[in-house]
Amino acid sequence: MKKIGRFFKGYVRESIAGPFFKLLEATFELLVPLVMASIIDKGIAEGDRPYVIWHGLLMIALGVIGFACTLSAQYFSAKAAVGFSSKLKESVFSHIQTLSFTELDEIGSSTLITRLTSDINQIQSGLNLTLRLFLRSPFIVFGAMIMAFTINVKEALIFAVTIPLLSVVVFGIMLITMPLYKKVQGKLDRVLLLTRENLDGARVLRAFNKEEDELAKFDSEHGELTRLQQFVGRISALMNPITYAIINLATLLLIRNGGNYVFNGEITQGELIALVNYMSQILIELIKLANLIITMTKSMACLNRVMAVLEIEPSMESGDRTFEETGEGNDTAVSFNDVSLRYRSAGAESLEHVSFEARKGETIGIIGGTGSGKTSLVNMIPRFYDATEGTVSVNGEDVRKLDLKELRKRIGIVLQRAVLFKGTIRDNLRWGKEDATEEEMEEALKTAQAYDFVMEKEKGLDTEITQGATNLSGGQRQRLTIARALIRKPEILILDDSASALDFATDARLREAIRNMPSGPTVFIVSQRTSSIAHADRIIVLDDGKVSGIGTHEELLRDNDVYQEIYYSQFPKEDMAYEG
Protein backbone atom coordinates (compact mmCIF):
# COMPACT_ATOMS: atom_id res chain seq x y z
CA MET A 1 0.00 0.00 0.00
CA LYS A 2 2.91 2.32 0.74
CA LYS A 3 4.18 1.85 -2.81
CA ILE A 4 0.95 3.09 -4.39
CA GLY A 5 0.07 5.65 -1.70
CA ARG A 6 2.11 8.38 -3.38
CA PHE A 7 -0.13 8.26 -6.44
CA PHE A 8 -3.12 9.36 -4.31
CA LYS A 9 -1.35 12.61 -3.43
CA GLY A 10 -3.65 15.49 -4.35
CA TYR A 11 -6.68 13.19 -4.46
CA VAL A 12 -6.96 12.14 -0.80
CA ARG A 13 -10.14 14.18 -0.22
CA GLU A 14 -11.81 12.68 -3.30
CA SER A 15 -10.73 9.19 -2.22
CA ILE A 16 -12.43 9.75 1.16
CA ALA A 17 -15.47 11.65 -0.16
CA GLY A 18 -16.40 8.96 -2.69
CA PRO A 19 -16.82 6.11 -0.16
CA PHE A 20 -18.33 8.53 2.40
CA PHE A 21 -21.21 9.54 0.11
CA LYS A 22 -21.72 5.89 -0.85
CA LEU A 23 -22.03 4.93 2.86
CA LEU A 24 -24.45 7.82 3.35
CA GLU A 25 -26.56 6.54 0.47
CA ALA A 26 -26.39 3.00 1.90
CA THR A 27 -27.66 4.30 5.28
CA PHE A 28 -30.73 5.84 3.62
CA GLU A 29 -31.27 2.62 1.68
CA LEU A 30 -31.28 0.56 4.89
CA LEU A 31 -34.00 2.81 6.33
CA VAL A 32 -36.41 2.24 3.44
CA PRO A 33 -37.61 -1.29 4.50
CA LEU A 34 -38.35 0.02 8.02
CA VAL A 35 -40.45 2.88 6.60
CA MET A 36 -42.26 0.39 4.35
CA ALA A 37 -42.92 -1.92 7.32
CA SER A 38 -44.30 1.03 9.25
CA ILE A 39 -46.61 1.98 6.35
CA ILE A 40 -47.97 -1.61 6.16
CA ASP A 41 -48.36 -2.21 9.90
CA LYS A 42 -49.68 1.20 10.91
CA GLY A 43 -50.90 3.12 7.88
CA ILE A 44 -52.53 0.36 5.82
CA ALA A 45 -53.52 -1.96 8.71
CA GLU A 46 -55.17 0.90 10.63
CA GLY A 47 -56.49 2.71 7.55
CA ASP A 48 -54.53 5.87 8.39
CA ARG A 49 -54.29 7.53 4.97
CA PRO A 50 -52.33 10.68 6.06
CA TYR A 51 -49.80 8.38 7.73
CA VAL A 52 -49.35 6.47 4.46
CA ILE A 53 -48.97 9.72 2.44
CA TRP A 54 -46.43 11.30 4.81
CA HIS A 55 -44.33 8.14 5.03
CA GLY A 56 -44.62 7.71 1.26
CA LEU A 57 -43.22 11.23 0.86
CA LEU A 58 -40.49 10.28 3.35
CA MET A 59 -39.53 7.30 1.13
CA ILE A 60 -39.37 9.59 -1.92
CA ALA A 61 -37.18 12.04 0.04
CA LEU A 62 -34.86 9.19 1.05
CA GLY A 63 -34.64 8.15 -2.63
CA VAL A 64 -33.86 11.72 -3.82
CA ILE A 65 -31.21 12.24 -1.12
CA GLY A 66 -29.73 8.83 -1.89
CA PHE A 67 -29.60 9.70 -5.61
CA ALA A 68 -27.77 12.97 -4.84
CA CYS A 69 -25.30 11.05 -2.67
CA THR A 70 -24.78 8.54 -5.48
CA LEU A 71 -23.98 11.28 -8.01
CA SER A 72 -21.55 12.89 -5.56
CA ALA A 73 -19.87 9.53 -4.93
CA GLN A 74 -19.59 8.85 -8.67
CA TYR A 75 -17.97 12.25 -9.26
CA PHE A 76 -15.40 12.02 -6.48
CA SER A 77 -14.56 8.37 -7.20
CA ALA A 78 -14.07 9.02 -10.92
CA LYS A 79 -11.91 12.07 -10.21
CA ALA A 80 -9.71 10.11 -7.78
CA ALA A 81 -9.40 7.13 -10.15
CA VAL A 82 -8.48 9.25 -13.17
CA GLY A 83 -6.03 11.31 -11.12
CA PHE A 84 -4.42 8.18 -9.69
CA SER A 85 -4.03 6.53 -13.11
CA SER A 86 -2.65 9.75 -14.63
CA LYS A 87 0.03 9.99 -11.95
CA LEU A 88 0.78 6.29 -12.30
CA LYS A 89 1.20 6.64 -16.07
CA GLU A 90 3.47 9.65 -15.63
CA SER A 91 5.53 7.80 -13.04
CA VAL A 92 5.89 4.66 -15.17
CA PHE A 93 6.74 6.66 -18.29
CA SER A 94 9.31 8.75 -16.39
CA HIS A 95 10.80 5.60 -14.87
CA ILE A 96 11.10 3.99 -18.30
CA GLN A 97 13.13 7.01 -19.42
CA THR A 98 15.65 6.29 -16.66
CA LEU A 99 16.18 2.68 -17.75
CA SER A 100 19.19 1.86 -19.85
CA PHE A 101 18.99 0.02 -23.16
CA THR A 102 19.85 -3.13 -21.19
CA GLU A 103 16.60 -3.06 -19.19
CA LEU A 104 14.54 -1.96 -22.20
CA ASP A 105 15.90 -4.84 -24.26
CA GLU A 106 15.14 -7.30 -21.47
CA ILE A 107 11.55 -6.15 -20.79
CA GLY A 108 10.50 -5.58 -24.40
CA SER A 109 8.63 -2.63 -25.85
CA SER A 110 5.37 -4.56 -26.41
CA THR A 111 5.12 -5.41 -22.70
CA LEU A 112 5.81 -1.81 -21.70
CA ILE A 113 3.13 -0.53 -24.07
CA THR A 114 0.58 -2.99 -22.64
CA ARG A 115 1.39 -1.97 -19.08
CA LEU A 116 1.22 1.75 -19.88
CA THR A 117 -2.15 1.46 -21.63
CA SER A 118 -4.31 -1.62 -21.08
CA ASP A 119 -3.03 -2.44 -17.58
CA ILE A 120 -3.34 1.09 -16.21
CA ASN A 121 -6.81 1.53 -17.77
CA GLN A 122 -7.86 -1.68 -16.00
CA ILE A 123 -6.43 -0.33 -12.74
CA GLN A 124 -8.41 2.89 -13.22
CA SER A 125 -11.68 0.98 -13.70
CA GLY A 126 -10.94 -1.22 -10.70
CA LEU A 127 -10.13 1.75 -8.45
CA ASN A 128 -13.28 3.59 -9.50
CA LEU A 129 -15.46 0.59 -8.61
CA THR A 130 -13.53 -0.07 -5.41
CA LEU A 131 -14.03 3.45 -4.08
CA ARG A 132 -17.76 3.20 -4.77
CA LEU A 133 -18.54 -0.36 -3.74
CA PHE A 134 -15.78 -1.83 -1.59
CA LEU A 135 -17.21 -0.29 1.60
CA ARG A 136 -20.81 0.15 0.47
CA SER A 137 -21.56 -3.49 -0.37
CA PRO A 138 -20.25 -4.99 2.91
CA PHE A 139 -21.93 -2.13 4.78
CA ILE A 140 -25.30 -3.00 3.19
CA VAL A 141 -24.80 -6.75 3.73
CA PHE A 142 -23.87 -6.53 7.40
CA GLY A 143 -26.18 -3.57 7.99
CA ALA A 144 -29.10 -5.61 6.63
CA MET A 145 -28.17 -8.47 8.96
CA ILE A 146 -28.04 -6.13 11.97
CA MET A 147 -31.39 -4.59 11.02
CA ALA A 148 -32.80 -8.12 10.72
CA PHE A 149 -31.70 -8.84 14.30
CA THR A 150 -33.58 -5.75 15.48
CA ILE A 151 -36.75 -7.17 13.90
CA ASN A 152 -36.54 -10.88 14.83
CA VAL A 153 -33.58 -12.85 16.16
CA LYS A 154 -34.76 -16.25 14.85
CA GLU A 155 -35.22 -14.96 11.31
CA ALA A 156 -31.92 -13.06 11.52
CA LEU A 157 -30.07 -16.36 12.12
CA ILE A 158 -30.78 -17.20 8.46
CA PHE A 159 -28.85 -14.04 7.55
CA ALA A 160 -26.04 -15.06 9.91
CA VAL A 161 -25.60 -18.40 8.09
CA THR A 162 -26.15 -17.09 4.54
CA ILE A 163 -23.60 -14.26 4.62
CA PRO A 164 -20.53 -16.34 5.68
CA LEU A 165 -21.46 -19.00 3.11
CA LEU A 166 -21.61 -16.36 0.39
CA SER A 167 -18.28 -14.90 1.54
CA VAL A 168 -16.60 -18.30 1.12
CA VAL A 169 -17.92 -18.54 -2.46
CA VAL A 170 -16.93 -15.00 -3.43
CA PHE A 171 -13.44 -14.97 -1.95
CA GLY A 172 -12.74 -18.57 -2.99
CA ILE A 173 -13.41 -17.72 -6.63
CA MET A 174 -11.31 -14.59 -6.28
CA LEU A 175 -8.29 -16.56 -5.01
CA ILE A 176 -8.61 -19.01 -7.91
CA THR A 177 -8.99 -16.39 -10.65
CA MET A 178 -6.36 -13.85 -9.56
CA PRO A 179 -3.29 -15.81 -10.82
CA LEU A 180 -5.22 -16.77 -13.96
CA TYR A 181 -5.89 -13.14 -14.84
CA LYS A 182 -2.16 -12.49 -14.50
CA LYS A 183 -1.55 -15.20 -17.11
CA VAL A 184 -4.18 -13.61 -19.36
CA GLN A 185 -2.27 -10.30 -19.32
CA GLY A 186 0.95 -12.15 -20.13
CA LYS A 187 -0.72 -13.76 -23.15
CA LEU A 188 -2.02 -10.33 -24.16
CA ASP A 189 1.60 -9.11 -24.18
CA ARG A 190 2.49 -11.87 -26.63
CA VAL A 191 -0.42 -11.06 -28.96
CA LEU A 192 0.53 -7.37 -28.87
CA LEU A 193 4.14 -8.23 -29.71
CA LEU A 194 3.07 -10.26 -32.74
CA THR A 195 0.74 -7.48 -33.87
CA ARG A 196 3.45 -4.84 -33.51
CA GLU A 197 6.03 -6.94 -35.37
CA ASN A 198 3.59 -7.58 -38.22
CA LEU A 199 2.68 -3.91 -38.55
CA ASP A 200 6.31 -2.78 -38.45
CA GLY A 201 7.38 -5.48 -40.89
CA ALA A 202 4.38 -5.42 -43.23
CA ARG A 203 6.54 -4.79 -46.30
CA VAL A 204 8.93 -7.60 -45.40
CA LEU A 205 6.04 -10.03 -44.88
CA ARG A 206 4.60 -9.24 -48.28
CA ALA A 207 7.99 -9.34 -49.95
CA PHE A 208 8.56 -12.91 -48.68
CA ASN A 209 4.90 -13.93 -49.09
CA LYS A 210 4.64 -14.85 -45.38
CA GLU A 211 1.16 -13.48 -44.70
CA GLU A 212 -0.40 -16.94 -44.29
CA ASP A 213 2.36 -18.09 -41.92
CA GLU A 214 1.97 -15.01 -39.75
CA LEU A 215 -1.82 -15.38 -39.77
CA ALA A 216 -1.44 -18.96 -38.56
CA LYS A 217 0.99 -17.87 -35.84
CA PHE A 218 -1.35 -15.06 -34.76
CA ASP A 219 -4.36 -17.43 -34.73
CA SER A 220 -2.40 -19.83 -32.53
CA GLU A 221 -1.38 -17.15 -30.00
CA HIS A 222 -4.80 -15.50 -30.06
CA GLY A 223 -6.44 -18.91 -29.65
CA GLU A 224 -4.41 -19.57 -26.49
CA LEU A 225 -5.39 -16.15 -25.13
CA THR A 226 -9.06 -16.81 -25.96
CA ARG A 227 -9.04 -20.26 -24.33
CA LEU A 228 -7.44 -18.91 -21.17
CA GLN A 229 -9.88 -15.98 -21.03
CA GLN A 230 -12.81 -18.35 -21.52
CA PHE A 231 -11.53 -20.67 -18.79
CA VAL A 232 -11.12 -17.91 -16.22
CA GLY A 233 -14.38 -16.36 -17.43
CA ARG A 234 -16.26 -19.59 -16.74
CA ILE A 235 -14.88 -19.73 -13.21
CA SER A 236 -15.81 -16.08 -12.61
CA ALA A 237 -19.24 -16.68 -14.13
CA LEU A 238 -19.97 -19.30 -11.46
CA MET A 239 -20.18 -16.52 -8.89
CA ASN A 240 -23.57 -15.11 -9.95
CA PRO A 241 -25.55 -18.37 -10.23
CA ILE A 242 -24.13 -19.73 -6.96
CA THR A 243 -24.89 -16.51 -5.09
CA TYR A 244 -28.38 -16.38 -6.64
CA ALA A 245 -29.05 -19.96 -5.59
CA ILE A 246 -27.91 -19.39 -1.99
CA ILE A 247 -29.87 -16.13 -1.65
CA ASN A 248 -33.05 -17.56 -3.15
CA LEU A 249 -32.88 -20.61 -0.88
CA ALA A 250 -32.38 -18.28 2.08
CA THR A 251 -35.35 -16.15 0.93
CA LEU A 252 -37.58 -19.24 0.62
CA LEU A 253 -36.58 -20.31 4.12
CA LEU A 254 -37.18 -16.78 5.35
CA ILE A 255 -40.70 -16.66 3.91
CA ARG A 256 -41.55 -20.18 5.09
CA ASN A 257 -40.47 -19.56 8.67
CA GLY A 258 -41.72 -15.97 8.59
CA GLY A 259 -45.22 -17.09 7.57
CA ASN A 260 -45.39 -19.27 10.68
CA TYR A 261 -44.12 -16.41 12.85
CA VAL A 262 -46.73 -14.04 11.39
CA PHE A 263 -49.44 -16.64 11.95
CA ASN A 264 -48.28 -17.07 15.59
CA GLY A 265 -48.11 -13.29 16.09
CA GLU A 266 -44.34 -13.22 16.71
CA ILE A 267 -43.76 -10.71 13.89
CA THR A 268 -46.02 -8.49 11.78
CA GLN A 269 -46.61 -8.68 8.04
CA GLY A 270 -44.69 -5.45 7.55
CA GLU A 271 -41.69 -6.82 9.42
CA LEU A 272 -41.67 -9.97 7.27
CA ILE A 273 -41.72 -7.85 4.10
CA ALA A 274 -38.89 -5.75 5.57
CA LEU A 275 -36.86 -8.94 6.17
CA VAL A 276 -37.46 -10.08 2.57
CA ASN A 277 -36.41 -6.62 1.36
CA TYR A 278 -33.22 -6.82 3.39
CA MET A 279 -32.48 -10.23 1.86
CA SER A 280 -33.10 -8.74 -1.61
CA GLN A 281 -30.70 -5.91 -0.78
CA ILE A 282 -28.09 -8.47 0.20
CA LEU A 283 -28.64 -10.29 -3.12
CA ILE A 284 -28.21 -7.09 -5.16
CA GLU A 285 -25.14 -6.01 -3.21
CA LEU A 286 -23.51 -9.43 -3.49
CA ILE A 287 -24.00 -9.36 -7.26
CA LYS A 288 -22.32 -5.96 -7.27
CA LEU A 289 -19.63 -7.27 -4.94
CA ALA A 290 -19.08 -10.29 -7.20
CA ASN A 291 -18.54 -8.04 -10.21
CA LEU A 292 -16.32 -5.81 -8.09
CA ILE A 293 -14.23 -8.81 -7.01
CA ILE A 294 -13.74 -9.86 -10.65
CA THR A 295 -12.70 -6.34 -11.64
CA MET A 296 -10.49 -6.01 -8.57
CA THR A 297 -8.83 -9.34 -9.35
CA LYS A 298 -7.98 -8.14 -12.86
CA SER A 299 -6.86 -4.78 -11.52
CA MET A 300 -4.62 -6.32 -8.86
CA ALA A 301 -2.96 -8.53 -11.48
CA CYS A 302 -2.43 -5.45 -13.65
CA LEU A 303 -1.19 -3.39 -10.70
CA ASN A 304 1.39 -6.04 -9.83
CA ARG A 305 2.64 -5.99 -13.42
CA VAL A 306 2.89 -2.19 -13.46
CA MET A 307 4.61 -2.06 -10.08
CA ALA A 308 7.08 -4.68 -11.32
CA VAL A 309 8.21 -2.13 -13.93
CA LEU A 310 8.58 0.58 -11.27
CA GLU A 311 10.62 -1.80 -9.10
CA ILE A 312 13.22 -2.36 -11.83
CA GLU A 313 16.35 -0.59 -10.71
CA PRO A 314 18.25 1.14 -13.52
CA SER A 315 21.61 -0.52 -14.02
CA MET A 316 23.04 2.84 -15.06
CA GLU A 317 23.40 5.81 -12.71
CA SER A 318 24.42 9.29 -13.78
CA GLY A 319 27.73 10.64 -12.54
CA ASP A 320 28.10 14.11 -11.09
CA ARG A 321 31.20 15.47 -12.81
CA THR A 322 30.79 18.19 -15.43
CA PHE A 323 32.90 18.77 -18.50
CA GLU A 324 34.44 21.84 -16.85
CA GLU A 325 35.90 19.51 -14.22
CA THR A 326 37.42 17.14 -16.79
CA GLY A 327 40.74 17.40 -18.48
CA GLU A 328 39.44 19.38 -21.45
CA GLY A 329 42.95 20.63 -22.08
CA ASN A 330 44.14 17.22 -23.27
CA ASP A 331 44.00 16.23 -26.91
CA THR A 332 42.08 12.98 -26.41
CA ALA A 333 38.34 13.12 -27.15
CA VAL A 334 37.45 9.44 -26.63
CA SER A 335 39.50 6.53 -25.37
CA PHE A 336 38.74 2.84 -24.85
CA ASN A 337 40.97 1.08 -22.37
CA ASP A 338 40.72 -2.75 -22.54
CA VAL A 339 36.92 -2.55 -22.94
CA SER A 340 34.70 -5.64 -23.08
CA LEU A 341 30.91 -5.74 -23.37
CA ARG A 342 28.54 -8.59 -22.67
CA TYR A 343 24.81 -8.01 -23.06
CA ARG A 344 22.64 -9.24 -20.22
CA SER A 345 21.65 -12.90 -20.69
CA ALA A 346 23.99 -13.16 -23.69
CA GLY A 347 26.01 -16.33 -24.08
CA ALA A 348 29.23 -14.59 -25.11
CA GLU A 349 30.88 -11.18 -25.12
CA SER A 350 29.99 -8.84 -27.98
CA LEU A 351 33.25 -6.91 -27.63
CA GLU A 352 36.52 -8.14 -26.16
CA HIS A 353 39.51 -6.11 -24.96
CA VAL A 354 39.06 -3.10 -27.25
CA SER A 355 41.63 -0.33 -26.80
CA PHE A 356 42.15 2.85 -28.87
CA GLU A 357 42.24 6.64 -28.59
CA ALA A 358 40.49 9.23 -30.77
CA ARG A 359 42.01 12.71 -30.72
CA LYS A 360 39.87 15.81 -30.96
CA GLY A 361 38.89 16.69 -34.50
CA GLU A 362 39.80 13.24 -35.87
CA THR A 363 37.56 11.15 -38.06
CA ILE A 364 37.48 7.50 -36.99
CA GLY A 365 36.05 4.90 -39.31
CA ILE A 366 34.67 1.65 -37.91
CA ILE A 367 34.15 -1.31 -40.21
CA GLY A 368 33.65 -5.04 -39.89
CA GLY A 369 31.40 -7.90 -40.83
CA THR A 370 27.81 -8.27 -39.69
CA GLY A 371 27.70 -8.91 -35.93
CA SER A 372 31.29 -7.80 -35.39
CA GLY A 373 30.27 -5.28 -32.71
CA LYS A 374 30.44 -1.96 -34.58
CA THR A 375 27.20 -0.54 -33.18
CA SER A 376 27.97 -1.96 -29.72
CA LEU A 377 31.24 -0.05 -29.70
CA VAL A 378 29.80 3.40 -30.53
CA ASN A 379 26.80 2.84 -28.22
CA MET A 380 29.15 2.88 -25.22
CA ILE A 381 30.36 6.42 -25.92
CA PRO A 382 27.01 8.09 -25.00
CA ARG A 383 26.47 5.36 -22.36
CA PHE A 384 23.59 3.53 -23.99
CA TYR A 385 25.39 0.50 -22.55
CA ASP A 386 28.14 0.34 -19.94
CA ALA A 387 31.30 -1.68 -20.42
CA THR A 388 31.36 -4.89 -18.41
CA GLU A 389 35.16 -4.61 -18.25
CA GLY A 390 37.56 -1.76 -18.90
CA THR A 391 36.94 1.98 -19.15
CA VAL A 392 35.40 4.25 -21.78
CA SER A 393 36.59 7.85 -21.32
CA VAL A 394 35.49 11.15 -22.85
CA ASN A 395 37.79 14.16 -22.40
CA GLY A 396 39.98 12.00 -20.19
CA GLU A 397 37.15 11.18 -17.73
CA ASP A 398 35.39 7.83 -17.26
CA VAL A 399 31.91 8.27 -18.78
CA ARG A 400 30.41 6.61 -15.68
CA LYS A 401 31.57 9.59 -13.60
CA LEU A 402 30.17 12.23 -15.97
CA ASP A 403 26.73 13.79 -15.69
CA LEU A 404 24.68 11.74 -18.16
CA LYS A 405 22.61 14.60 -19.58
CA GLU A 406 25.63 16.81 -20.11
CA LEU A 407 27.54 13.95 -21.73
CA ARG A 408 24.78 13.34 -24.26
CA LYS A 409 24.39 17.06 -24.95
CA ARG A 410 27.98 17.04 -26.21
CA ILE A 411 27.34 14.07 -28.51
CA GLY A 412 25.38 14.00 -31.75
CA ILE A 413 24.34 10.48 -32.73
CA VAL A 414 22.52 9.13 -35.75
CA LEU A 415 21.32 5.59 -35.12
CA GLN A 416 21.08 2.86 -37.75
CA ARG A 417 17.33 3.25 -38.07
CA ALA A 418 16.34 6.74 -39.23
CA VAL A 419 13.55 7.72 -36.82
CA LEU A 420 11.56 10.92 -37.40
CA PHE A 421 8.49 11.98 -35.47
CA LYS A 422 5.10 13.12 -36.69
CA GLY A 423 5.16 16.89 -37.07
CA THR A 424 6.99 19.40 -39.24
CA ILE A 425 10.60 19.22 -40.40
CA ARG A 426 11.21 22.24 -38.18
CA ASP A 427 9.85 20.38 -35.13
CA ASN A 428 12.07 17.40 -35.82
CA LEU A 429 15.20 19.54 -36.19
CA ARG A 430 14.44 21.19 -32.84
CA TRP A 431 14.83 17.82 -31.16
CA GLY A 432 18.54 18.49 -31.65
CA LYS A 433 18.36 22.04 -30.33
CA GLU A 434 15.15 23.49 -28.90
CA ASP A 435 16.03 27.14 -29.57
CA ALA A 436 17.55 26.60 -33.00
CA THR A 437 17.26 29.62 -35.31
CA GLU A 438 16.27 29.54 -38.99
CA GLU A 439 19.91 30.09 -39.96
CA GLU A 440 21.11 27.21 -37.80
CA MET A 441 18.52 24.90 -39.32
CA GLU A 442 19.50 25.86 -42.85
CA GLU A 443 23.20 25.41 -42.03
CA ALA A 444 22.56 21.92 -40.61
CA LEU A 445 20.44 20.98 -43.62
CA LYS A 446 23.16 22.15 -46.03
CA THR A 447 25.82 20.16 -44.21
CA ALA A 448 23.57 17.07 -44.21
CA GLN A 449 22.91 17.52 -47.95
CA ALA A 450 19.19 17.92 -47.19
CA TYR A 451 18.72 21.64 -47.92
CA ASP A 452 17.77 21.31 -51.59
CA PHE A 453 15.01 18.71 -51.23
CA VAL A 454 13.55 20.47 -48.15
CA MET A 455 13.40 23.86 -49.86
CA GLU A 456 11.90 22.34 -53.00
CA LYS A 457 8.85 21.37 -50.95
CA GLU A 458 5.99 23.85 -50.97
CA LYS A 459 6.11 24.56 -47.21
CA GLY A 460 9.87 24.12 -46.74
CA LEU A 461 10.72 23.67 -43.07
CA ASP A 462 7.01 23.60 -42.24
CA THR A 463 6.40 20.51 -44.36
CA GLU A 464 4.48 17.91 -42.37
CA ILE A 465 6.12 14.55 -41.71
CA THR A 466 3.65 11.69 -41.38
CA GLN A 467 3.82 8.99 -38.72
CA GLY A 468 6.84 6.83 -39.52
CA ALA A 469 7.96 9.45 -42.10
CA THR A 470 6.27 7.43 -44.83
CA ASN A 471 6.07 10.53 -47.07
CA LEU A 472 9.90 10.66 -47.30
CA SER A 473 12.35 8.34 -49.04
CA GLY A 474 14.96 6.38 -47.09
CA GLY A 475 17.74 8.76 -48.15
CA GLN A 476 15.70 11.82 -47.19
CA ARG A 477 14.96 10.36 -43.76
CA GLN A 478 18.66 9.63 -43.19
CA ARG A 479 19.74 13.13 -44.20
CA LEU A 480 17.17 14.75 -41.90
CA THR A 481 18.30 12.63 -38.95
CA ILE A 482 21.90 13.66 -39.69
CA ALA A 483 20.82 17.34 -39.80
CA ARG A 484 19.06 16.87 -36.45
CA ALA A 485 22.32 15.61 -34.92
CA LEU A 486 24.42 18.36 -36.53
CA ILE A 487 22.25 21.27 -35.43
CA ARG A 488 23.56 21.11 -31.87
CA LYS A 489 27.16 21.40 -33.14
CA PRO A 490 28.32 18.37 -31.15
CA GLU A 491 31.85 17.84 -29.95
CA ILE A 492 31.54 14.14 -30.83
CA LEU A 493 29.50 13.03 -33.84
CA ILE A 494 28.54 9.35 -34.28
CA LEU A 495 27.17 8.24 -37.64
CA ASP A 496 26.09 4.63 -37.22
CA ASP A 497 25.67 3.36 -40.78
CA SER A 498 23.52 6.45 -41.33
CA ALA A 499 24.36 6.97 -45.02
CA SER A 500 23.50 3.49 -46.29
CA ALA A 501 20.59 4.84 -48.39
CA LEU A 502 22.70 7.61 -49.98
CA ASP A 503 24.39 7.33 -53.35
CA PHE A 504 28.20 7.53 -53.46
CA ALA A 505 28.26 11.15 -54.67
CA THR A 506 25.91 12.42 -51.93
CA ASP A 507 27.81 10.37 -49.34
CA ALA A 508 31.10 11.94 -50.46
CA ARG A 509 29.66 15.47 -50.30
CA LEU A 510 28.26 14.75 -46.84
CA ARG A 511 31.64 13.58 -45.51
CA GLU A 512 33.37 16.58 -47.04
CA ALA A 513 30.86 18.99 -45.47
CA ILE A 514 31.26 17.36 -42.04
CA ARG A 515 35.09 17.62 -42.32
CA ASN A 516 34.76 21.35 -43.04
CA MET A 517 32.44 22.10 -40.10
CA PRO A 518 33.81 25.09 -38.11
CA SER A 519 33.20 23.31 -34.79
CA GLY A 520 35.58 20.51 -35.85
CA PRO A 521 33.87 17.56 -34.09
CA THR A 522 35.45 14.19 -33.48
CA VAL A 523 33.59 11.97 -35.93
CA PHE A 524 32.92 8.23 -35.68
CA ILE A 525 31.64 6.72 -38.93
CA VAL A 526 30.27 3.19 -38.78
CA SER A 527 29.81 1.83 -42.26
CA GLN A 528 29.77 -1.29 -44.40
CA ARG A 529 31.24 0.72 -47.28
CA THR A 530 34.99 1.13 -47.41
CA SER A 531 34.42 4.23 -49.60
CA SER A 532 32.63 5.94 -46.70
CA ILE A 533 35.59 5.56 -44.33
CA ALA A 534 38.59 5.52 -46.68
CA HIS A 535 39.41 9.19 -45.95
CA ALA A 536 39.18 8.72 -42.17
CA ASP A 537 42.25 9.61 -40.13
CA ARG A 538 42.18 6.10 -38.69
CA ILE A 539 40.02 3.05 -39.30
CA ILE A 540 39.17 0.42 -36.67
CA VAL A 541 38.56 -3.02 -38.16
CA LEU A 542 36.42 -5.32 -36.00
CA ASP A 543 36.17 -9.06 -36.42
CA ASP A 544 33.81 -11.04 -34.16
CA GLY A 545 34.02 -8.46 -31.35
CA LYS A 546 37.80 -8.08 -31.45
CA VAL A 547 39.99 -5.39 -32.98
CA SER A 548 41.60 -6.90 -36.07
CA GLY A 549 43.54 -3.77 -36.93
CA ILE A 550 43.78 0.02 -36.59
CA GLY A 551 45.31 2.26 -39.21
CA THR A 552 44.77 4.33 -42.34
CA HIS A 553 43.07 3.00 -45.44
CA GLU A 554 46.40 2.42 -47.17
CA GLU A 555 47.97 0.68 -44.16
CA LEU A 556 45.04 -1.66 -43.65
CA LEU A 557 44.70 -2.42 -47.34
CA ARG A 558 48.34 -3.47 -47.28
CA ASP A 559 48.51 -5.36 -43.97
CA ASN A 560 45.03 -6.40 -42.74
CA ASP A 561 43.36 -9.51 -44.15
CA VAL A 562 39.87 -8.67 -42.83
CA TYR A 563 39.95 -5.16 -44.32
CA GLN A 564 41.27 -6.52 -47.61
CA GLU A 565 38.43 -9.04 -47.79
CA ILE A 566 35.80 -6.32 -47.20
CA TYR A 567 37.43 -3.90 -49.65
CA TYR A 568 37.91 -6.35 -52.49
CA SER A 569 34.35 -7.65 -52.07
CA GLN A 570 33.22 -4.13 -53.03
CA PHE A 571 35.90 -3.15 -55.57
CA PRO A 572 37.56 -5.54 -58.02
CA LYS A 573 41.27 -6.14 -57.43
CA GLU A 574 42.09 -4.84 -60.88
CA ASP A 575 40.53 -1.47 -59.96
CA MET A 576 43.70 -0.37 -58.14
CA ALA A 577 43.20 3.21 -59.28
CA TYR A 578 40.45 3.66 -56.71
CA GLU A 579 41.51 6.04 -53.99
CA GLY A 580 38.39 5.99 -51.81
DSSP class per residue in 184-252: HHHHHHHHHHHHHHHHHTHHHHHHTT-HHHHHHHHHHHHHHHHHHHHHHHHHHHTHHHHHHHHHHHHHH
- Give yes or no for residue 540 having a pLDDT over 90: yes
Residue 434 lies in a domain: no
- pLDDT at residue number 523: 92
Does 570 or 339 have the greater pLDDT score? 339
pLDDT grade for 456, boundaries at 50, 70 and 90: confident
Residue 172 lies in a domain: yes
Residue 129 lies in a domain: yes
The pLDDT tens digits of the residues spanning 159-212 come to 888 888 887 887 788 778 878 877 887 787 788 778 878 887 888 888 888 888
The pLDDT tens digits of the residues spanning 80-98 come to 999 999 999 999 999 988 8
Does 261 or 510 have the greater pLDDT score? 510
- Give yes or no for residue 328 having a pLDDT over 60: no
| Structural domains of the chain, count | 1
- pLDDT at residue number 576: 47
Residue 289 lies in a domain: yes
Q: At 128, which CATH number?
A: 1.20.1560.10
Overall size of the chain counted in residues? 580
Distance CA 3, CA 342 (A): 33
CB atoms within 10 A of CB 478: 28
Domain carrying residue 190: 2-310
The pLDDT tens digits of the residues spanning 291-322 come to 787 788 778 878 888 888 888 888 888 888 77
The average pLDDT across 251-272 equals 82
pLDDT grade for 79, boundaries at 50, 70 and 90: very high
* pTM exceeds 0.75: no
Percent of the chain with pLDDT over 90: 20
Residue 447 lies in a domain: no
Element (H, E) at 451: helix 451-456
The average pLDDT across 346-354 equals 84
pLDDT grade for 579, boundaries at 50, 70 and 90: very low
- Give yes or no for residue 578 having a pLDDT over 70: no
Give Cβ neighbours of residue 567 (< 8 Å, ≥ 6 apart): 530, 557
pLDDT grade for 528, boundaries at 50, 70 and 90: confident
Buried b (16+ CB within 10 A) or exposed e, 66-87: beebbebbbebbbbbbebbbeb
pLDDT grade for 326, boundaries at 50, 70 and 90: low
The average pLDDT across 148-157 equals 82
- pLDDT at residue number 580: 43
> Residue 267 burial (CB < 10 Å; 0-12/13-18/19+)?
buried
Position 483: which residue type? A
Residue 431 lies in a domain: no
- pLDDT at residue number 244: 80
Residue 557: helix, strand or coil by DSSP?
helix
How far from each other are the two terminal CA atoms of the chain, in whole angstroms?
Answer: 65
Give Cβ neighbours of residue 352 (< 8 Å, ≥ 6 apart): 340, 545, 546
- pLDDT at residue number 80: 93
pLDDT grade for 1, boundaries at 50, 70 and 90: low
Give Cβ neighbours of residue 324 (< 8 Å, ≥ 6 apart): none
- pLDDT at residue number 327: 56
- pLDDT at residue number 279: 81
- Give yes or no for residue 110 having a pLDDT over 80: no
pLDDT grade for 539, boundaries at 50, 70 and 90: very high
- pLDDT at residue number 201: 80
Average pLDDT taken over every residue of the chain: 85
